[in-house]
Structure 1
Amino acid sequence: MHTDLVAALDIGGTKIAGALVDGHGRIQARAQRATPAREDGDTVMGAVEAVLAELTASPLWGRATAVGIGSAGPVDASAGTVSPVNVPGWRDYPLVRRVRAATGGLPVELIGDGVAITAAEHWQGAARGHDNALCMVVSTGVGGGLVLGGRLHPGPTGNAGHIGHISVDLDGDPCPCGARGCVERIASGPNIARRALEGGWVPGPDGDTS
């Protein structure tokens, strides 16, 4: 049997996506669910488990050797827990333990989603061939990751480069993280739309503000 695939999970405030990925970065199977971000922690985990159940049902699952998780942060990679600002039901949530249990004991690696996208960009994308890079993700939240000296630099907890909760306006809007004027509060997708609406922007006929 070939054992050449990794299961990948991307957990954000809007969606939870999963895939089986080969050693060349090609997606061989995928699954997705909406994130019930305003529900309790176990309900959110139920959506993660639904994605994993779809992947484990794939005939390719037997080739998977590990699970990699990129989660909205902050995360604590050393403890295997997550506390995403935009998923309030998860505070110090034992995500690694729960995912390991749902996948039959496979090894599980956790990093922040910004660090995960940085690893991907350095391997296959815009940062390929560069020794130093800051890569950003702008979605429901704002995250980031660092490549320093040609190597991914996640930091001791997996949050290095996570610039979304750096305050750039000390008198700015309050952020759910407890600070004011965070980059995420200004520049995430939902907050760009919010600020545009406050400034008089009128959505198109479909009313989409995402």
Structure 2
Amino acid sequence: MSDDTAMARETVLGLDIGGTKMAAALVSADGTILTGDLIRTPAGDADEVFAALGELITRVRGDSSPLAVGIGSAGPLDQQHGLVSPVNIPGWRNFPLVDRVRALTGDVPVTLGMDGHCFALGEFWSGAGRDADTLLGIVVSTGVGGGLVVDGKPLIGQSGNAAHIGHVVVDQDGESCACGSYGCVEAYASGPRMVARAKRRGWRTDEDVDAAVLAADAAAGDELALATFDDGAQALAAGIVATAVTVDLTTVVIGGGVAKAGPVLFDPVQAWVKKLAQLPFVAELTVEPAQLDNAGLLGAAHQAWAALT
């Protein structure tokens, strides 16, 4: 769609900010992305990271005037004060993201939500969860994020950090996590942590490789890669079942870069969920891949549209 057409329609600006990439898009009220772009999240101090985001926002906005801005950011965050301290963006600690974005975009409503919440809301709006009333969405990438939609509404929590499934402790004697705790889901299931674990076991020790290579090797039958994915799947399944028995849900949607591994991830996750979910009300718990490549952006935009009603 041309920029002129995008400018002629009412839009909101959606932002999806994570440790690997930052994305922005103008989104219409029916969930159509009119124009968008993404960049790699740079390393650096707070201002360097925001400068890259600011350039992205300016490029995507062009001459348009979005009615509101919705931000989905890696957490934790302080929703009340508009501050973010993403575990996987070291440069931002209590960073005033809402105020800084508002200074760029003008006096319009600016909403802030965790990236996992926005992912879940996007899949609920128009993806794999659109037929569910209650669902858990999980993003498995540089970190592991999550979000809950309960009875059609996002469950945010008093601080905005509800459903932070990546930091559910599944092994109290387990590996240290970037959050400062031990045995978190993220310590076993995130892409970088799986790669590091596989290397400790002797996999491609002298190569600069990522989770996509690990997934390809697992798909080709490499035993070390398969064992590492099984570890990550077990941790994910433990977090999923713990959440399901707490909230009483049966639908789980998983997306993110690591989820692109496909059956290498989903087969062991589903097997571990079946083994761990023994109570009758979660016996039919289903785990599905995300349908959208941009669920976080759409969920952030959904937040922005909701702020206008």
Corresponding position of 1:12:
18
User: Structure 2 matches for 1:21-36, cutoff 5 A?
Assistant: 21-36=27-42
Cα displacement (A) at 1:3 = 5.0
Alpha-carbon deviations, 1:27-66, whole Å to 9, x = none?
11112222124x1111111111111111222x4x23x111
Give the one of 163, 168, 181 matched to 1:179: 181
Q: Unmatched 5+ residue regions in structure 2?
A: 1-6, 212-309
8 A contact 2:120–2:138 mirrored in 1? yes
8 A contact 1:16–1:35 mirrored in 2? yes
Give SS of 2:67's match. strand
Which is worse superposed, 13-22 or 1-10?
1-10
User: Structure 2 matches for 1:188-199, cutoff 5 A?
Assistant: 188-199=190-201
**Residue type of the alignment partner of 1:14:** T
8 A contact 1:70–1:112 mirrored in 2? yes
Q: TM-score, normalised by structure 2?
A: 0.63
Give the one of 85, 88, 91 matched to 2:90: 88
Distance in structure 1 (CA, Å) of the matches to 2:174 and 2:31? 40
Q: Which one has a bigger Cα radius of gyration?
A: 2
8 A contact 2:74–2:115 mirrored in 1? yes
Give the one of 40, 45, 51 matched to 1:46: 51
Give SS of 2:68's match. strand
Distance in structure 2 (CA, Å) of the matches to 1:139 and 1:153? 22
User: Structure 2 matches for 1:91-106, cutoff 5 A?
Assistant: 91-106=93-108
Alpha-carbon deviations, 1:143-200, whole Å to 9, x = none?
1111112221111222111111112122222112111111111101111222222222
Which is worse superposed, 187-196 or 77-86?
187-196
Cα displacement (A) at 1:105 = 2.4
Give SS of 2:24's match. strand
Task: Calculate the aligned-residue CA RMSD, in Å.
Answer: 1.7
The structure with more strand, counted as a fraction of residues: 1
The structure with more helix, counted as a fraction of residues: 2
8 A contact 1:115–1:158 mirrored in 2? no
Cα displacement (A) at 1:93 = 0.7
Distance in structure 2 (CA, Å) of the matches to 1:196 and 1:105? 49
Distance in structure 2 (CA, Å) of the matches to 1:207 and 1:88? 22
Q: TM-score, normalised by structure 1?
A: 0.90
Corresponding position of 1:118:
120
Give the one of 124, 145, 159 matched to 1:143: 145
Distance in structure 1 (CA, Å) of the matches to 2:79 and 2:178? 22
Report sequence identity in percent: 50
Alpha-carbon deviations, 1:65-118, whole Å to 9, x = none?
111100000111111110101112211110000000011222110000000011
Distance in structure 2 (CA, Å) of the matches to 1:185 and 1:40? 25
Cα displacement (A) at 1:21 = 1.2
8 A contact 2:84–2:92 mirrored in 1? yes
**Residue type of the alignment partner of 1:11:** I
Q: How many residues are aligned here?
A: 204
Give SS of 1:68's match. strand
Structure 1 outlier segments of 4+, above 6 Å: none
**Residue type of the alignment partner of 1:158:** G
**Residue type of the alignment partner of 1:29:** T
Give the one of 65, 68, 73 matched to 1:66: 68
Give SS of 1:65's match. coil
